[in-house]
Amino acid sequence: MIKTYHFPIPQVAQFSGPMHNFLPQHPDATTVRHEAENIQLMETYLDYHSVLLYRIEAYAEADCILPLKTEKSDFHLLYAFKSPSQIIIKNNKSEDHIQLPGGHGTYAYVPKGKFSVHLQYGHYLVYGLLIDVGFIRANIFPSHSFLYEFRTARLRDKKKLFQTPIWPIKEKTSYQIQRLEEIFFHYHSGHEAEIIKMLYILFDIAKFKQFTSYEWLDPNEDLAKRVRGAIQDLVSQEFSNLSLSGLSEKFSIGHKRLIAVHKEYFKQTLQQYLHELIIIKAKEKLALYTVGETATYCGYSEVSSFSDFFFKRVGIRPSAYQQQILTEKK
């Protein structure tokens, strides 16, 4: 397989600045070092003709966007072995993207084009196999298999990023990745056939994990849950400014996209969920504090605005609700 993906940032012979503990090099593999502002990246790859085996390790000194360019459309089996945050690969010309949390794998179709890899501060280690799609044959994977369906998905829109649902990296996958390091990054002609066997083992593990032992993990559903958790954290903070404006930056995704994904799985807009949590918090605080103090706890600087908000959603004023609580206690 020809290496068709590139990181268009400067290549260096040695890294400058802080010395990070990169994994050892393999003499039979090609190693390329890249360095740019806020990132040091080392890619290691070995061509087995039918499969290109690669390892990408990076240290991000701050949140950054790593450019990625592909010369042709390809299929990648990806494993985010270490990742402090979700890796997001965005198409520069459209809204489609791939997202991969740490400790998970996915199978991805990446078209020819230019992309942006969004990384947050920390250490990343990703293993990948660039695959000949001919290995996914109907006589091996029937038409109802997620791999066979994925193979045909690109025929609908060849310019769009695709990925299978993610699956967790557990013992079986970790063992196979260890074999990549210890065996297959050392070239031997006999490995040409063995790497194909490993490929099918990895496919079988993914199929088993998705449909037998583990919950079917949709990356969009995972995003919706994490956004929901971020809103919960926001509301739980005392005296916080309860604004959703920072979510887009936090998740490196447009606000409209966040709203759409959350609504798809929870049938609520982000604003509706925020208001639901504020009302729950307000009711708890009104049992302990004055209306003015409760308004402040809930992020309102004006008591009248808080009172109108509460009345619109509960049907009574905060003071009346507080009186109800006192009556019930008596």
pLDDT tens, residue order, the chain (330 aa)? 789 999 999 999 999 877 799 999 999 999 999 999 999 999 999 998 889 999 999 999 999 999 999 999 888 999 999 999 999 999 998 878 999 999 999 888 899 999 999 999 999 999 999 987 666 555 555 555 556 666 665 556 778 888 887 888 888 888 888 999 999 999 988 888 888 888 878 877 776 655 443 344 466 777 788 888 888 888 887 666 677 888 887 776 778 888 888 888 899 999 999 999 999 999 999 988 999 999 998 888 899 999 999 999 999 999 999 988 877 765
Tell me where in the chain the CATH 2.60.120.10 domain(s) lie. 5-216
19 secondary structure, DSSP code: P
5-216 fold: Jelly Rolls (2.60.120)
Q: Which of 77, 13, 9 is nearest to 39 (CA)?
A: 9
Measured between alpha carbons, how far is 177 from 293 in angstroms, rounded to an integer?
A: 55
Measured between alpha carbons, how far is 104 from 224 in angstroms, rounded to an integer?
A: 17
Query: What integer pLDDT is reported at residue 217 of this predicted model?
Result: 47
Query: What integer pLDDT is reported at residue 156 of this predicted model?
Result: 61
The CA-atom distances, in angstroms, between 64 and each of 34, 40, 61, 101, 252 are 14, 11, 8, 17, 10
Q: Where are the alpha helices (DSSP H) in the chain?
A: 146-153, 171-179, 191-208, 219-236, 247-251, 255-266, 270-286, 291-297, 303-314, 318-329
Query: What integer pLDDT is reported at residue 227 of this predicted model?
Result: 87
Query: What integer pLDDT is reported at residue 194 of this predicted model?
Result: 86
| Chain position carrying tokens 């310019």 | 159
Query: What integer pLDDT is reported at residue 260 of this predicted model?
Result: 87
Q: Are 158 and 111 in contact (CB under 8 A)?
A: yes
Kindly state the tokens that stand for 219. 């990356």
Query: What integer pLDDT is reported at residue 167 of this predicted model?
Result: 84
Q: How many CA atoms lie within 13 A of 310 on its CB side?
A: 28
Measured between alpha carbons, how far is 195 from 179 in angstroms, rounded to an integer?
A: 10
Query: What integer pLDDT is reported at residue 309 of this predicted model?
Result: 94
Classify residue 251 by burial, with Cβ atoms within 10 Å: 0-12, 13-18, 19+: buried
Angle between helical axes of 255-266 and 219-236 (0-180°, round to 10): 100
Tell me where in the chain the CATH 1.10.10.60 domain(s) lie. 221-329
Query: What integer pLDDT is reported at residue 213 of this predicted model?
Result: 39
Residue type (1 letter), 302: E
Query: What integer pLDDT is reported at residue 154 of this predicted model?
Result: 54
Query: What integer pLDDT is reported at residue 216 of this predicted model?
Result: 44
**Number of other CB atoms surrounding residue 216 within 10 Å:** 12
Rounded (10°) CA dihedral 195, 197, 202, 203: 120
- Identify the architecture of domain 221-329 in CATH: Orthogonal Bundle (1.10)
Q: Which of 194, 201, 196, 193 is nearest to 176 (CA)?
A: 201
Measured between alpha carbons, how far is 243 from 221 in angstroms, rounded to an integer?
A: 22
Measured between alpha carbons, how far is 73 from 59 in angstroms, rounded to an integer?
A: 27
